[in-house]
Amino acid sequence: MARTNFHDDPENRVDKLFWGKINIEAATAFCYFHKKSNIKDFIHSLKYDGKKEIGYILGRHFAAELLKSKRFKDVDLIIPIPLHPKRQKKRGYNQSEWIAKGIAEIMNKKIDTESVIRNTYNESQTKKGREERWTNVESIFIVPKPENLNNKYIMLVDDVITTGSTIEACVKIIQQTSSAKICIAAIAVAGN
């Protein structure tokens, strides 16, 4: 796997992806995601072949790196990017939640799957461009209990960052409704 080693670099390309768009403490990805990478096969098996344990294992390995970083070690709460209940029912699980489970175990942090909810069922993002991706995710999240997030340092966890539009939408709604600080951790970032 082509690791990024972004966790200690505040000017890495994942951080830069969000500059000027959302206010975050830090952002990182564990590996590069491209057509010939092993991580592509792992993510595909995690999302489409029912191999949720892959997410857990990847999360544990990723957490070992995150623990070495001052930017991520003081997190209070881990929130996996939510799936819409229809998509989660169809898949049987949320792949980001399985990644978060691995991270949470190694970092000894709690996972919260109830404070941010995906309230709109939308099409897959995989074949959309940046503008289409943003339009597809606008207003898709709600925060039913913002008081649970106030004064917390939250790590949002996702599988792959491509344009960052889904995470951006999630961060915006959390920040509109609470006083949380946020960092982002994804298993992979598109490109190399």
Any idea how long the chain is? 192
How many CB atoms lie under 10 A from the CB of residue 109?
18
CATH number, residue 170: 3.40.50.2020
* pTM to 2 decimal places: 0.91
Q: Are 117 and 85 in contact (CB under 8 A)?
A: no
Residue 5 lies in a domain: no
Q: Is the dihedral of CA 94, 114, 133, 60 positive or negative?
A: negative
Residue 59 lies in a domain: yes
Phi/psi of residue 27, nearest 5 degrees: -150, 145
Taking Cα atoms as reference points, which of 78, 91, 87 lies closest to residue 158?
A: 78
Residue 154 lies in a domain: yes
Residue 143 lies in a domain: yes
Residue 156 lies in a domain: yes
Q: Are 8 and 71 in contact (CB under 8 A)?
A: yes
* Minimum mean pLDDT range among 7-16, 33-42, 49-58, 109-118: 33-42
Residue 104 lies in a domain: yes
Count up the domains in the chain and report the number: 1
End-to-end CA distance of the chain: 12
Query: What residue numbers bound the domain in which 186 lies?
Result: 13-190
Average pLDDT over the chain, rounded to whole?
A: 92
**What is the C-alpha separation between 63 and 189, in angstroms, rounded?**
16
Residue 102 lies in a domain: yes
pLDDT of residue 35: 82
Average pLDDT estimate for 102-129: 85
pLDDT of residue 34: 86
